[in-house]
Amino acid sequence: MMVRGAFAQALAPGVHHWFLHFLDLQMRREEYSTVFNVETSQQAFEDEVELAGTGVMPEKPEADSTIYDDMIQGGTRRYVHLTYALGSRASWELIEDDQYGIIKQVPKAHVRSAQFAREIVTWNVLNLGFSTLLTIDGVSLFNTQHPLLGGTAATNTAPGIANVIFATGTYPNRPSPDVDLSFTGVQLMINQFERMPDSQGLPIRVKPHTILIPPELKFIAREILGSPGKPYTADNELNALLGEDLKFQVVHYFTSQSAWFGVADKESHQLKFFERHPIDTDYDDDFDTRSTKVITMQRFSAGATSWIGTWGSNGP
């Protein structure tokens, strides 16, 4: 409950400027929507199912019968929308005596809180991607051994991955051990991206589009990706990463100072945000006290259907 005693400065005119955090410190550009695929939902939850196509087409010897192959239905990933809500309450006397109309602006503060909620919840998909956030294959989003629906046949089919994988029938989107953001680390990421197969072992030829980093890694990222020559050497070699056209994006909601991530363009990965109900504010008065209650609510979910098109290293 907000009452006059806690906002005494608002009761008399004369304050030149109220430094309102929720207005003067503007909420900057939305970050999650630059990476996550944003969709809407009209249901309590959304189910997504994976389906692998057929494998390699083999030669058919003369007069021999054609080999038949089946598509493979994979698992289910369910997005359950959660409700996020926040309320504030102010006394009738405070609202009436507020000389600056500040208290009435609490919905704007709520919106800032709501926007932070959707940012942190969504980015926690990556923050928790090394541990508790699972994808449709049942293992963590960033894993050294994502099982492929095609199993051993898939890794036998996929060209040139013998030195990339850590176990047959699986494919990594995480190094082992984890590596720092570095020139060689980025090269390792690119290699794992370029060799990435689908569930039957057919190369999908996906490329990393953006490196996602915490603020602490901004300077290293700029050196690695922007240096005209190979960084950190005295030789006059070309910086081979320049040709990759990689971008980097600082994400202010990463909890680790050393974890970094790579994502393909939006069409090539399955990181998702479902908007079930947009940010919505309502208010009412309490009859007995005439205090005003303001609540702001929203419903959404976020997650990763598949690991394909993503890559992560939890620093060393």
Partner 1 sequence: MAIAAIPIQPVKSLSGNQWASRRIIEEAAQTFKIGTPLMLKAADGGLQAWDGTAGAGHLIAGISYEAASNLATTGKGAPTPNTPVLGIGSAITFGNVQNEPLAVNIPHGAPFNDGRVGVVIAAADTIFSATFGNAGVLATPLNTDVGVQYGMTIDTLGNFWYVDKSKTAANAVVLITGLDLRDPAAVGARVLFQFIAADASLLG
- Binding residue for partner 1, selected from 35, 126, 148, 189, defined by CB under 8 A: 148
Using CB under 8 A, which of the segments 30-38, 58-66, 105-113, 146-154 binds partner 1? 146-154
Q: Could you count the other beta carbons within 10 Å of the beta carbon of residue 282?
A: 11
Q: How far is the CB of 271 from partner 1 (least distance, A)?
A: 12
Return all residues near 165 (Cβ < 8 A) that are at least 6 apart: 145, 155, 171, 172
Q: Is 86 in the site for partner 1 (CB under 8 A)?
A: no
Q: Is 151 in the site for partner 1 (CB under 8 A)?
A: yes
- Binding residue for partner 1, selected from 2, 10, 36, 79, defined by CB under 8 A: 79
Rounded Cα distance between 65 and 61, Å, is 8
Rounded Cα distance between 213 and 247, Å, is 11
Return all residues near 201 (Cβ < 8 A) that are at least 6 apart: 55, 56, 148, 150, 153, 154, 155, 156, 157, 158
Using CB under 8 A, which of the segments 29-37, 99-107, 122-130, 258-266 binds partner 1? 122-130
- Binding residue for partner 1, selected from 270, 298, 301, 313, defined by CB under 8 A: 301
Q: Is 178 in the site for partner 1 (CB under 8 A)?
A: no
Rounded Cα distance between 261 and 224, Å, is 15
Q: Is 117 in the site for partner 1 (CB under 8 A)?
A: yes
Q: Is 124 in the site for partner 1 (CB under 8 A)?
A: yes
Residue in 250, 255, 301 with CA at minimum distance from that of residue 117: 301
195 phi, psi to nearest 5 deg: -95, 0
Return all residues near 284 (Cβ < 8 A) that are at least 6 apart: 292, 293
Q: Is 133 in the site for partner 1 (CB under 8 A)?
A: yes
For partner 1 (CB under 8 A), the number of binding residues is: 36
Q: Is 31 in the site for partner 1 (CB under 8 A)?
A: no
- Binding residue for partner 1, selected from 2, 90, 109, 149, defined by CB under 8 A: 149
Sites of contact with partner 1 (CB under 8 A): 44-45, 47, 72-80, 82, 117, 120-122, 124-125, 128, 132-134, 136-139, 147-151, 169, 301-303
